[in-house]
Amino acid sequence: MLNSSGDFTRNSKLRHGAFMPKKTRLEKLSLLGISMFVLLAGMICAPLASAAGALSFIESFDSFPSNGSSFNSPSAIALDSSGNIYVADQSNNRVLKLKSDGTMITSWGSSGSANGQFNAPQGIVVDLNNDIWVADTNNHRLQKFASDGTWLATIGTLGSLNGQFSSPQGLAKDAAGNIWVADTGNHRIQKLKNTGGWLASFGSNGAGSGQFSYPRGLAFDSSGNFYVADTSNNRVQKFSGAGAFIASYGTYGTTAGKLNNPYGVFVTGTTLFVVDTYNHRIQKLNATGGFAAFAGTYGTAASSGSTIYLNYPRAATFDASGKILVVDTNNNRIQRLNAGGTFDMSFGTAGGGNGGFNNPNDVALKSNFAYVVDTYNHKIEKLNCDGTFLASYGTYGTAASSLGTIYLNYPKFATFDAAGKLLIADSSNNRIQRLNSDGTFDMSFGTAGGGNGGFNNPYDVAVDGSGRIFVIDTYNHNIKKYNSDFTYNATYGTYGSAASSLSTIYLNYPKFATFDAAGKLVIADSSNNRIQRLNSDGTFNLSFGSAGGGNGGFSNPYGVTIDSSGNIYVVDTYNHSIKKYSSARTFISSTGTYGTAASSGSLIYLSYPKFAAIDAAGKLVIVDSSNNRIQRLKTDLTLDISFGSSGSGNGQFNGPSAAALDASGNIWVVDTNNNRIQKFSGAGSWIGSYGAFGTGNAQFSSP
């Protein structure tokens, strides 16, 4: 984004992923939300010639249990008949096999699309033969392995036909040994034979009974009924073994008995438990059909007794003794609870030093310095344009900051105001903090809750040309506007998926926003699959897009960028396309179709593009993430250049997530899963690579 001074301030994880969980919920994909999926704007040495856009945050972390195993965004867990634990280690693109105490037995997998390789695996189940099925999410397929990791079969390809998948995540088996798949990006459930043959599919995108919005977790009860974590609908649905709808449980909320992006379900007998991911807890279905708290509260400390600290848990399962294994994702650990919900044991830790990133989420640039929002290390790092570490601001905490200490709690995005002060969305502290240019504390506002000064996981902050501050209050589903002195001005938006109007603006997990040349705020309303624009006074201006394909249909749009003529380009991630609209929202053109082949002329192949920016010549630079390449299109959207391939050598990529353009026309690429930044000339020639995996100076962990 360009702030009022003309400085580039941010290019910023689906669930939802993948993910995160952040995310549309594929985000992570993304959550996100999606595997997201960690997205970071590229570091550059000079102000951008022209760039604007948005990225989805996708959660990731690095952890090192004392037993020698390591996790990088673990997302799913399963047990075999001997009690061994299998973990889908998402960002390490592998499966880990552990003993019941967490001791490493073996692991298999690497990044790629060949048999036995993975791209952000986010589901796992052990079948009746003790074979391991893995949801190879971003390769849009399932893979089957023997218990020692020997590859047995690959099932499925990208698509929406029977037996095809779009970002599959949750897996479960029924009593007959059939495999059930949460076909997340297709908003449906599929049933397969143990041999991989297709048996049935049901569900569609929507909020009605039997419809889904990014379903994730699956589980069967002892009566043969199954439950679906209907994540973005904030509910759990129950079906018969034949797929007939029985009941729905849960509504959106953060109070007792409510759900907020549930990722997982697990069952003992006929008793249902829900992994209430964004409420950081496990809930249990009671006899009246409501949910009651079972275990968990937000925190990062060690659990003990009945106090269970969780941080965006994504999955859980029972072991043979009735104990519960919880994938405590953002705490970098797996926790085991006793049957009553008290603490039993935990394994996994995390950390990071100066210049070492742990899930960096954003970068803001001022003059020749880059300020990295190092989310999971709870700090801001200041770097030279060559990546040299200069200073670090912040430490983990929830107390009020002061001149001596800045407390941060999973900060997400940052931007500079006109005075050169750094505004930080201190997301899990539910506040905005401002630092002076020397990194000392200036002021802070906001508390947990609603109302004029209340926030719920604010993801983003933007500053208009008059110095007013706009906070993207993601989980309150609104935008809050403040004057430059932080006094409250107005709130725009409320939760909903209906059409907005002059009287009411409906938002559904807004995450990113940018201003156009006229000072209007353009919002990627991702979970509503639309773009909305507000006038400078915050009133509704226009909206376009709906769930689906075609000229006006979106599927989990991750980003938006605007050219010098005011045209709007939407990165329609799950439709594998870029769509161009006039400032009046009239459709102009679209480019992109799913594919991995080389693009040519007007035939542009894309696979989950995550980011786009306009360069000084008006050309469109696209991060074609799952194809591990950068493509640049001419103003008529025909191919100009393409560079990159899968790998770790110079000029190769592994899940690139963002790019930035400097004033000389060089392209800086965030090569996320290779833990580095790569620099290319405007012609696509490799210039240099900066960073390596680690926690030391100028090292990275999933930037």
- Supply the pLDDT for residue 424: 84
Positive or negative, the Cα torsion across 399, 405, 409, 415?
positive
- In order of 36, 272, 309, 434, 528, the CA distances from 281 in angstroms are 21, 14, 8, 31, 26
Per-block mean pLDDT, blocks of 10 residues, the chain (703 long): 34 31 32 30 33 27 38 85 90 86 86 89 95 95 95 95 96 96 96 96 95 96 95 96 94 90 93 94 86 89 93 90 88 86 78 47 57 65 62 79 82 78 86 85 89 88 90 92 91 94 91 86 89 92 91 86 91 92 92 92 92 87 88 94 83 74 72 66 80 41 49
Strand blocks (E) in 45-109 = 74-79, 85-89, 94-98, 104-108
Half-sphere exposure of 364 (CA within 13 A, CB side): 29
Report DSSP state, residue 223. Answer: T
Q: What is the CA radius of gyration of the chain?
A: 23
State the CB neighbour count (10 A cutoff) for residue 584: 9
Closest CA to 632 of 677, 678, 666, 594: 666
Positive or negative, the Cα torsion across 514, 677, 655, 77?
negative
Instruction: Copy the structure tokens of residue 691.
Output: 């960073």
Distance CA 564, CA 298 (A): 44
60, 72 Cβ separation under 8 angstroms: yes
Task: State residue 63 phi and psi, 5-degree precision.
Answer: -140, 150
State the CB neighbour count (10 A cutoff) for residue 302: 13
The structural architecture, per CATH, of the domain 128-347 is 6 Propeller (2.120)
- Supply the pLDDT for residue 70: 62
Cβ within 8 Å of residue 289, ≥6 positions away: 247, 249
19, 59 Cβ separation under 8 angstroms: yes
Domain regions of the chain by residue span:
128-347, 493-643
Residue listed under structure tokens 């926030």: 455
H or E element: which one contains 482?
A: strand 478-482
Distance CA 350, CA 419 (A): 36
Closest CA to 283 of 304, 305, 313: 313
291, 277 Cβ separation under 8 angstroms: no
Cβ within 8 Å of residue 485, ≥6 positions away: none
- For domain 493-643, is the CATH number 2.30.30.60? no
Distance CA 155, CA 146 (A): 15
Distance CA 463, CA 482 (A): 10
183, 172 Cβ separation under 8 angstroms: no
Closest CA to 326 of 258, 403, 273, 376: 273
> Is the fold of 128-347 the same as that of 493-643?
yes
